[in-house]
A and B are shown apart, each in its own frame.
Chain A
Amino acid sequence: MHESVLAELRRVCGAEAVLHEPLQLLTYECDALPHLRETPAVVVLPQSAEQVQGIVRLCARENVPFVARGHGTGLSGGALPVAGGIVISLARLNRVLSVDIPNRRVVVEPGVTNLEITRQVAPFGYYYAPDPSSQQVCSIGGNVAENSGGAHCLKYGFTTHHVLEVEAVMPDGSLVRIGSSLPDTPGPDLLGLVIGSEGTLAVVTKVTVRILRKPEAVQTLLAAFNSIGAGGKAVSDIIGAGIIPAAVEMMDRLAIEAAEAAVHPNFPPADTILIVELDGPASEVQEMFGMVEAICRRAGATTIEIAQNDEQRMRIWKGRKAAFAAMGRMSPNYYVQDGVVPRTRLPEVLERIRALEQRSGLRIGNVFHAGDGNLHPLICYDQRIPGQADLAEEVAGEILTYCVEAGGSITGEHGVGADKREYMPRMFSDVDLDVMRAVRDAIDPKRLCNPGKVLPTPRLCGEVPGPYREHPIERAGLGERF
């Protein structure tokens, strides 16, 4: 990086906000997908929208690629730096700007965590609905980039349903308001385009979200089944009965064992467990919950546990939400996939995954949002065994093929990022991708804003995507991964 650019960055943001020593950069080499790594030239930590604007203007003038980063919890390499580029960390834009209970709106900077919004409004009986598993640490800016969902998005939708307005620095350095805190902004839904664009169209500097009243009643049950098919039948029958639960989650034997070993949620030993949560007015929850219980019994539930209080409910969710991390105890490494299938095709796709598990010799745990068909197969491997990392990646790709063949998607909530961009042609035609690229080029003609994400690009010389390989700094004992 040219010294004049560094000097300009220091002038805009202050010297202490500009990091470029190798050890300082280490943290920013990857997001929560550690097998994709790249070292940026510089990391800048601006403290205001004006500073972000200053950085982006400089990048536009000097043709330097830049990548916005929240708290680095993304699972698709969406915040993977560009070699020689700038990472704009939004961690210090972390102020809650306004809490407006009468109008049910909260305005925050992008570095505020998802859960912090709920913390701010909980005393008034409100909450922010999207609840990705990482909600304690993930940033709202990252949620906007990825259009994050969570376990309760079956009933409540995604980030795009809860964000009313953003302030964003566009790739040319202009600062614009997109959407409006009032409903019905005239014209195309530009906000809908920007949310979920994975940081490739703009750097968001302020977010206005709507908050919801905490439901009057919540009821959660955990049902055990002898087969995935029986659990799947229960899910279909619940939906078929006209009930939209707040959440419907399934875990298979391996995932159950992992969660049990890690956080002891006291899950029954079963082939499959189903977690169903209803929320809403007490009268409605009461009426529907009895139906859900009866449906689970008819579908062959071997045990049904109904959470009697918040504590029991939290224990069930703790087991579910810990499943990813718990896999870390079962296997030295694992690869998470995020494909989606139409709910009715779940049993058949899960059968194919089981067959693949046997064929590949890699264990695959399944934790998934059964209500909306979003799978999270956890592919276990050991990178110390030569070839296993590559095999895991191959298996993951195979699963995505199953999802697309069943009429689904390669990603339900983690995003395409750098991880799955080469799979985009399985879902979209060349024309589809050309048009998406044309939209991107219209907004970012210099292709500087988080390049190399979402849309497939021809692989460049020396670019080695794929499973994580030890960094030279780690090998030399100069640093370690966090």
Chain B
Amino acid sequence: MVVDGVQSTEVVTPRDVAEFAAAMSSASAGRRATVISGGGSKLSWGRTPAHVDVVLSTARLDQLVAHRYGDLTATIEAGATLAEVNRQLARHGQWLPLDSAFPAATIGGIVATNDSGPLRHRFGTPRDLLIGVTLVLADGRVVKAGGTVVKNVAGYDLGRLVSGSFGTLAAIATATFKLSPLPATSGTVGIVYRERGALARDTQMLASNQFEFTSLDLQVTPGSAGPEYRLLVRVASGPSATDAQIAAVQRLVSAESQIISGRAERDLWRDHVAAPWMGGGTTVRLAWMPASLADVLTILERIGRETGTGVTLTGRAAVGAGLLRVDGSPDAAAAFIGRLRDDGTVGNVVVLRAPSAVKAAVDVWGTPGEAGPVMRAIKNALDPAGILNAGRGPI
């Protein structure tokens, strides 16, 4: 298997957790650089590895272990895809309200990267819904933390610890989540703006109102006559509550809006989530303070202009988190990222997917924070041989 352009020596696809544990333990003993892979949809994220000895695949750990629908919880094996899990949960009118741009994305990969999308506005990121995990440590020990109940503070929260760890601390074998009831109806209001200031003002107005949106997303795309700005507001509730909130949004916003529902709404969100990944360019994760949105848009456009890159921003407008697709030559993309980090209007700039020339020019993770030494101490305790995602991950 190829990991970010590097061919692995071996691929192991264990049939169960015990086999997985044995494979991990043997990789540890042999100090072999090990990459854990789910659907492979995010396998190119992170630093380019020097070499990869073993890819350990969760492909056969793909079962929905338990759907306790009366308790609104589910335990899922790491290799199950989010799409398949949600098909099964829907039988009892429930879902795991996370989104992924990739049909092959698995539960394990989504937790390990803490990847999220527009549903974050209402439901948070995977770590917010996670209530328990089973992990396989580098030495093959199988460890449980959390549990199957939504309220539980017994012991250390190792599930949250591995969220966002990019497979550097342990492999996720199963994850237990709290679920949500599927909403009865859904509708989206799309609003198009001529200028960024109006979009920022409306975002702030909607975010400080008393709505309960499912999503409040923004999209900025390069157009022929300058950037195009769009807000997408999704409401999903009971029929009359959905209608009432949609009507209120249309009444309050400052630009022309339209309602999108049914199949068109599903397609809209699918395309919206896929937009940061179209083409083969560089995709960057970034965060900002919600009230600074107008400044953020100004800076992105200016740096885009100055570096000769096309910039597409997709993000959670009220949360202050999004993905940026930077189209242009690798040099231009690298320059863009460098300028963006120096400017400081946005933060937590992480390069997710990028051509190797971009990764060679900028560190994908950026400067480690003050907590770096603490994270490394934990890494050394859990993976003393340093085999897990060696040289690729954030620690």
Interfacial residues, chain A to chain B (CB-CB below 8 A): 100, 102-104, 146-147, 149, 153-154, 157-158, 160-161, 170, 174-178, 180-193, 195-197, 213-216, 236, 239-244, 280-281, 283-284, 286-288, 340-344, 369, 372-374, 407-416, 420, 424, 427-429, 431-436, 438-443, 454
Contact with A along B328-372 (1 / 0, CB 8 A): 000000000000000000011010000000000000011011110
Q: Is the CB of B184 within 8 A of A176?
A: no
Can you name 13 A-B residue pairings with CB atoms under 8 Å?
Answer: A103-B291, A147-B153, A183-B321, A184-B350, A186-B366, A189-B165, A242-B181, A281-B211, A284-B245, A373-B71, A429-B144, A442-B381, A454-B156
- Closest-by-CB residue of B relative to A216 is B210
Q: Is the CB of B394 within 8 A of A436?
A: no
Q: Is the CB of A372 within 8 A of B150?
A: yes
B33-41, B99-107, B234-242, B267-275 - interface stretch: B234-242
Q: Is the CB of A342 within 8 A of B158?
A: no
- Closest-by-CB residue of B relative to A175 is B370
When distances are taken between beta carbons in the complex, the residues of chain A under 8 Å from B158 are 193, 435-436, 439
Least CB distance, B350 to chain A, in whole angstroms: 5
Contact with A along B267-301 (1 / 0, CB 8 A): 00000000000000000010111111000000000
Which of B141, B210, B380 is the most central at the interface, judged by chain A CB atoms within 10 Å of its CB? B210
When distances are taken between beta carbons in the complex, the residues of chain B under 8 Å from A103 are 289-292, 320
> Which of B152, B161, B209 meets A192, CB within 8 Å?
B161
When distances are taken between beta carbons in the complex, the residues of chain B under 8 Å from A187 are 164-166, 365, 368-369, 371, 375, 393-395
Q: Is the CB of A192 within 8 A of B374?
A: no
> Which of A158, A182, A188, A440 meets B375, CB within 8 Å?
A188
Q: Is the CB of B153 within 8 A of A146?
A: yes
Question: B8 an interface residue at 8 Å Cβ cutoff?
Answer: no
Question: B83 an interface residue at 8 Å Cβ cutoff?
Answer: no
> Which of B150, B168, B210, B366 meets A281, CB within 8 Å?
B210
Question: B160 an interface residue at 8 Å Cβ cutoff?
Answer: yes
Q: Is the CB of B153 within 8 A of A183?
A: no
> Which of A181, A213, A242, A432 meets B289, CB within 8 Å?
A181
Besides A284-B245, A432-B145, A442-B380, 17 new A-B residue pairs in contact (Cβ under 8 A), listed by A number: A103-B290, A153-B151, A182-B287, A184-B321, A184-B350, A186-B369, A187-B371, A190-B374, A190-B378, A192-B163, A193-B158, A213-B209, A342-B149, A407-B149, A409-B152, A412-B153, A439-B378
Question: B222 an interface residue at 8 Å Cβ cutoff?
Answer: no
CB proximity to A under 8 Å, residues B136-173? 137, 141-145, 147-166, 168-169
Question: B382 an interface residue at 8 Å Cβ cutoff?
Answer: yes
When distances are taken between beta carbons in the complex, the residues of chain B under 8 Å from A240 are 70
CB proximity to A under 8 Å, residues B233-258? 237-241, 243-245
A438–B135 alpha-carbon span in the complex (Å): 15
> Which of B128, B180, B245, B321 meets A161, CB within 8 Å?
B128
- Closest-by-CB residue of B relative to A195 is B157
Q: Is the CB of B347 within 8 A of A196?
A: no
> Which of A102, A188, A213 meets B168, CB within 8 Å?
A188
